[in-house]
A and B are shown apart, each in its own frame.
Chain A
Amino acid sequence: DIQLTQSPVSLFASVGDTVTITCRASHHIAGRLNWYQQKSGVAPRLLIYDASRLQTGVPSRFSGAGFGGEFTLTISRLQPDDFATYYCQVSFNSPFTFGQGTKVEIK
């Protein structure tokens, strides 16, 4: 099975900062990696699919990159609404594992 390792587990940032979250896959998964945002008590929301494609309605300050085994999610000009937990997820093949999450908190 493919394992995903996210880093960091948590980070502190200020409004206006640029933050980057990394997701490493244990095997080659081409570009089959998705990113989700989850706020406390609410269902997750798809942000990025196929490593770098922005889901409809998601602000352009979110961007994804990577291929093969290492991927990044970058949030530019952090907004108050962006403080949440972010998960990566593999869609290469079953099982469709999620990473352990990265919590972005206000500094």
Chain B
Amino acid sequence: QITLRESGPTLVKPTQTLTLTCTFSGFPLEDSEEGVAWIRQSPGKALEWLALIDSNDDRRYSASLRSGPTIIKDTSRQQVVLRLPNADPVDTGTYYCAHFVRIYNYVTGYNPRAFDIWGQGTMVTVSS
């Protein structure tokens, strides 16, 4: 059974680095066609894809993220960490991590099929 759980600070000051951790179980995230994505939802707004990393260490980021985000995986700890430098009040919201299976297309290469299993989310407020 695949599970994911997000953790991180509930309050971050502007300009600080926001660090979020996704702890997963039920899949290896290495030598498998799988990955973990981060999705954000600002209060009252739609879902927004932020970043992903897969078992082959392919990393993608949304162009909407400022200041050089970083996503890394630690398979020994079964964790995926997302770091967002220079936090801003617009980064306030609920952050979800989600599992995906990646599939190959000869035109577009490897991409997630869908975000099939989600964590419960963690709420972050960016405010001074």
Bound pair: A and B? Answer: yes
* Residue from B63, B96, B108, B113 within 8 A of A44 (CB atoms): B96
Contacts of B121 in A (CB 8 A): 43
* Contact assessment for A95 and B62 in the assembled complex, using a CB-CB cutoff below 8 Å: yes
* Contact assessment for A43 and B118 in the assembled complex, using a CB-CB cutoff below 8 Å: yes
Once A92-B108, A95-B62, A95-B63 are accepted as A-B contacts, the answer to whether A46 and B49 lie under 8 Å apart by CB is: no
* Residue from A91, A94, A101 within 8 A of B114 (CB atoms): A91
Contacts of A66 in B (CB 8 A): none
Interface residues on B, range: 20 to 34
* Contact assessment for A91 and B118 in the assembled complex, using a CB-CB cutoff below 8 Å: no
The DSSP consensus for interface residues of chain B is: strand
Cα distance A50–B62 in the bound complex, in angstroms = 22
* Contact assessment for B46 and A96 in the assembled complex, using a CB-CB cutoff below 8 Å: no
B46, B112, B118, most chain A CB atoms within 10 A: B46
Shortest Cβ distance from A5 into chain B, in angstroms? 12
* Residue from B39, B47, B111 within 8 A of A94 (CB atoms): B111
Interface size on A, residues (CB 8 A): 25
* Contact assessment for B47 and A96 in the assembled complex, using a CB-CB cutoff below 8 Å: no
Verify if A34 is at the interface (C-beta below 8 Å from B). Answer: yes
* Contact assessment for A46 and B116 in the assembled complex, using a CB-CB cutoff below 8 Å: yes
Cα distance A32–B107 in the bound complex, in angstroms = 13
Verify if A69 is at the interface (C-beta below 8 Å from B). Answer: no
Contact with B along A51-77 (1 / 0, CB 8 A): 000010000000000000000000000
Verify if B126 is at the interface (C-beta below 8 Å from A). Answer: no
* Residue from A89, A93, A97, A101 within 8 A of B115 (CB atoms): A89
* Residue from B49, B116, B117, B120 within 8 A of A96 (CB atoms): B49
* Contact assessment for B46 and A100 in the assembled complex, using a CB-CB cutoff below 8 Å: yes
Cα distance A46–B39 in the bound complex, in angstroms = 14
* Contact assessment for B96 and A43 in the assembled complex, using a CB-CB cutoff below 8 Å: yes
Contacts of A100 in B (CB 8 A): 46
Verify if A39 is at the interface (C-beta below 8 Å from B). Answer: no
* Residue from A46, A89, A93 within 8 A of B108 (CB atoms): A93
Once A50-B113, A91-B113 are accepted as A-B contacts, the answer to whether A45 and B118 lie under 8 Å apart by CB is: yes
Q: A-contacting residues of B (Cβ < 8 Å)?
A: 37, 39, 46-49, 52, 60, 62-63, 96, 108, 111-121
